[in-house]
Structure 1
């Protein structure tokens, strides 16, 4: 919870010692999300090959991802 909007909603505002991260914007509809999700999954699968994993699930179970 880092945006000013989220902090206002959940804790009543941004504390003096904190800085908000990002901002809340409305993004116009651009189409189904499935294409974007497939791109993200493709990137994850590619990452698995770099670390020697055979699948996303197996890589997550085997390696520590920081």
Structure 2
């Protein structure tokens, strides 16, 4: 999870649900309204867990992990 736009948004990406392989879903929390929305789909080969991530401007960056 990474904050964006001075904390007005939080971006949640990937993970490893119990008993499942890594996932590649992206969700965005609008903090002022506490409303979640799903981000764009990614190529399944990019599914990740245990990665580092950040937001730089309009770009979400994830690296490493499994």
Q: TM-score, normalised by structure 1?
A: 0.17
User: Relative to total residues, which structure has the larger helix share, 1 or 2?
Assistant: 1
User: Relative to total residues, which structure has the larger strand share, 1 or 2?
Assistant: 2
Q: TM-score, normalised by structure 2?
A: 0.17
